[in-house]
A and B are shown apart, each in its own frame.
Chain A
C-alpha cells in the first residue's frame, strides 16, 4: 500500500467513531393498523399480533408487535415536512424515488472521499416487543469504523451505524447495526 492509499482511516474518520446523534421521537405510535399492514406484508400470521384474547393469555399479556417494525417508523416523513417524493422528482426527473432526503437525527457524513456505498451486513439485538400505543425513540451512533484492503490493494472502510430503539418508558426494544462498505 502506498502512503496515499494508507490514508482511508484518517484521524478525521477515526474521530467519527462513537459520534452519537440526538434522540429523536418517531412520528406516530405503534398502532393496530400499522401492525396489520406490516405483518401481512411480512407474511407473519402470528395471533399474538392480532388476537387480543389469545395475546392476553400469552406470556406477554398483551398484543405485541415485531421488534424490527419500529425501525421503519424512524424513516417516516412527518406531515409538516416537505413531501420528499415530490422534491426528489423536482430535483431529478429520473430520481430513484428516494432522493436526498434529510432525516431527523441523521449523523454527519463520515469525511472520506470513498463514495461508492455497498451493504456489508446487518445485526439485530432484541430485548422487548413493542406494545400498541408505544411512542418510539431512536438514536444513531457510529459504533465502529474499520479499514480493510481489497484484492486490488486499495483500502476501503467498513462503517457501522448502530441505532437504539426505545419506548416512552426508556425501555430498550431493539438495537440494529447496519454496516456499509465505502470504496
Chain B
C-alpha cells in the first residue's frame, strides 16, 4: 500500500525517493481505469518524486528554447540575480501537472483543468513530490467530475505549487467521455 503524503514527508530525504510512484512506460501502457464510483474524498493520488540535477534543467531549457540564464548559468544566477543556485523552471512544474492528471485518468478519463501558484525557489538537489488529493466529486450529464487539491512539495514540506484541478472520470455503466472534450452545459 502506498505511503500517505504526511508520512512520506517525515522520512529522511533518501528514503523519500524510494516511494516514487511515477509509472513506467509499461505501467502506462497497461493502466487500469479508475472509475468515478471508486473515488472518495481524501483519496490520495500516486506521488511522483523527482530530484532534478543541473543537467535536467539544461535539458528542459533546451527542449522549450527558454534561454533565461537563471536556469543554467550558476555564476549569473548566484552573483547577478542573487539566487541560491540555478532555479528549477516554473514551466517544467506546470508541465508536470497535466502529465500527472493524464496518468491518473488514463485510459479513458480526461484531465480537464488546473490552476496553481508558483511559490518558493527550487534548486537542483531538492527532492520534489508531486501530489494530489480528492476534495470532492459530482456527477453531471453522465460524467464523473473529481476535484483535487494538487501541489509539489519539497522534502522539507514546503509547498511550491499549491493548486487545484478537475479531472473527468467515467462512471461505471455510464457514457464515454467526449473527445475532444466538451464540458456539459451549466
Is there an interface contact between A97 and B67, defined as CB atoms closer than 8 Å?
yes
Q: Which of B51-101 contact A (CB under 8 A)?
A: 56, 59-60, 62-70, 73, 76, 80-81, 90-92, 94-99
A120 at the interface (CB under 8 A from B): yes
Is there an interface contact between A122 and B69, defined as CB atoms closer than 8 Å?
no
Q: How far is the CA of A121 from the CA of B181 in the complex (A)?
A: 24
Q: How far is the CA of A98 from the CA of B70 in the complex (A)?
A: 10
* Distance to closest chain A CB from B89 (angstroms): 10
Is there an interface contact between A76 and B65, defined as CB atoms closer than 8 Å?
yes
For chain B, the count of residues having a C-beta within 8 Å of the partner chain is 49
Q: How far is the CA of A177 from the CA of B76 in the complex (A)?
A: 29
Contact of A94 among B65, B80, B181 (CB under 8 A): B80
* Distance to closest chain A CB from B166 (angstroms): 10
Contacts of B111 in A (CB 8 A): 126
Q: How far is the CA of A104 from the CA of B95 in the complex (A)?
A: 23
In the complex where A40-B59, A47-B29, A97-B68 touch, is A128 in contact with B97 (Cβ < 8 A)? no
Contacts of B50 in A (CB 8 A): 43
Q: How far is the CA of A69 from the CA of B98 in the complex (A)?
A: 10
* Distance to closest chain B CB from A69 (angstroms): 8
Q: Which of B107-125 contact A (CB under 8 A)?
A: 107-108, 110-118
Q: How far is the CA of A59 from the CA of B76 in the complex (A)?
A: 47
* Distance to closest chain A CB from B27 (angstroms): 9
A-B pairs with lowest CB-CB distance, top 6: A41-B63, A128-B180, A45-B25, A121-B117, A72-B64, A97-B69
A-B contact pairs, 10 of them (CB 8 A): A40-B59, A41-B63, A42-B60, A42-B96, A44-B99, A47-B29, A94-B80, A121-B115, A122-B118, A124-B94
- Tell me what chain A mostly uses at the interface: helix, strand, loop, or mixed: mixed
Please report B residues at the A interface, Cβ cutoff 8 Å. Answer: 22, 24-25, 28-29, 50, 56, 59-60, 62-70, 73, 76, 80-81, 90-92, 94-99, 102-103, 107-108, 110-118, 163, 179-182
| Chain B: CB-nearest residue to A84 | B67
A114 at the interface (CB under 8 A from B): no
Is there an interface contact between B65 and A121, defined as CB atoms closer than 8 Å?
no
* Distance to closest chain B CB from A162 (angstroms): 12
Q: How far is the CA of A127 from the CA of B22 in the complex (A)?
A: 24
Contacts of B98 in A (CB 8 A): 66-68, 124, 126
